[in-house]
Amino acid sequence: MQDLKGLILQKIKDYKTIICLRHISPDGDAYGSAFGLAQFIKDNFPNKRVLVDGATNDFLVFLATPDLVQVEDYQDALVIVTDTANIERIDSKYWQQAKEIIKIDHHPNVTPFGDIQWIDETKIAVSEMIAELVLTSKLTVTSEAARLIFTGIVTDSNRFMYSKTCQNTFMLAGQLVATGFDLQSIYQNLYEESWVNVRFKNYLLSQVLIYNKEISYVKITDEMLKEHKMSYETVKPWVNIMSNIKEFKIWMWAIENKAEGYINLSIRSNTYIVNKVAEKYCGGGHQLASGAKIYQWEDLEQVLKDLSFVIKNNIKYMGG
């Protein structure tokens, strides 16, 4: 079978219009992989029409902003979807109108889709896969494309701290840094905090609830967000302010998305496999980091029971 990376590069060469997509509520890896791949294509094929569709994440606007893409743009286009495990999370109304679809992902392939699929669960980030694709392509990798892709790697690896970070991750990151982008600017944009945000984080830590002495969680209601003049998009990524507290084996952020009519659950652990629980509640993800949805606060108790079952039965991540 033809090498997948070579096949994907050939498809990119074949199409005049290419649209890069990622998941709803995009994080750094979603942004970095989609915008980084789009920038790489633009730099090497300036006569192609290259678009990035989806909602804007205000926290990540320092990287790039999506294009205004219409349904007619998808006609005869190649769509490349990165960092998106299932079709429900694709941030586009029109992706199925494309002529051909490629899925590039590092999540478990629970919902296969697309004409071509490149799935590698061993990678810390999809942006690591994109880095591998572009750096082995013998085409130009500009500092702007490298900046975007590097940001995806650094965010999904939590600054190279998570277990799937490996020698290859550092090698690829080093090659990206060698292109000369401003590394300090990336870290400053990602981790600089406003005093308002710091105060609200401290408030949320004071609201931590504990279940069975082993699971910590915070309930963040729409009223709470409005009272403190905070947005869902701003607060949702903060789940890891509860990480590395040794008493808690699993921690969870339960934040109400009033506009969409659901409560988003961000579930994390350093040891226990949580994605199977997330899959029961309209979600999924990595073994140690998953997302889910419930539609009423009363359902949170059952989620906690399911997570407690994981701990009780010692369902642990074994690495790899």
Task: Look at residue 318 and tell me if it is in a domain.
Answer: no
Percentage of the chain exceeding pLDDT 90: 88
Pairing of strands 289-294, 284-285: antiparallel
DSSP 162: S
CA-CA distance, 63 to 61, in Å (whole number)? 5
Structure tokens at 288: 């140690």
Q: Is the pLDDT of residue 2 over 70?
A: no
**How many residues appear in the chain?**
320
Q: Does 187 lie in the same domain as 199?
A: no
CA-CA distance, 152 to 320, in Å (whole number)? 20
- Contact yes or no for 31/38 (Cβ under 8 A): no
pLDDT for 320 equals 53
Q: Does 178 lie in the same domain as 231?
A: no
CA-CA distance, 41 to 50, in Å (whole number)? 7
**Residue 274 belongs to what domain range?**
195-313
pLDDT for 25 equals 85
Tell me: the pLDDT tens digits for 71-116? Answer: 999 999 999 999 998 898 899 999 999 999 999 999 989 889 999 9
The residue behind tokens 């084996």 is 249
Structure tokens at 45: 């094929």
Of all helices (H) and strands (E), which one includes residue 210? strand 209-211
Task: Look at residue 320 and tell me if it is in a domain.
Answer: no
CA-CA distance, 125 to 161, in Å (whole number)? 12
Give how many domains the chain has, as a whole number. Answer: 2
CB atoms within 10 A of CB 219: 17
Domain closes at, from 168, 191, 214: 191
Domain closes at, from 163, 191, 219: 191
pTM: 0.87
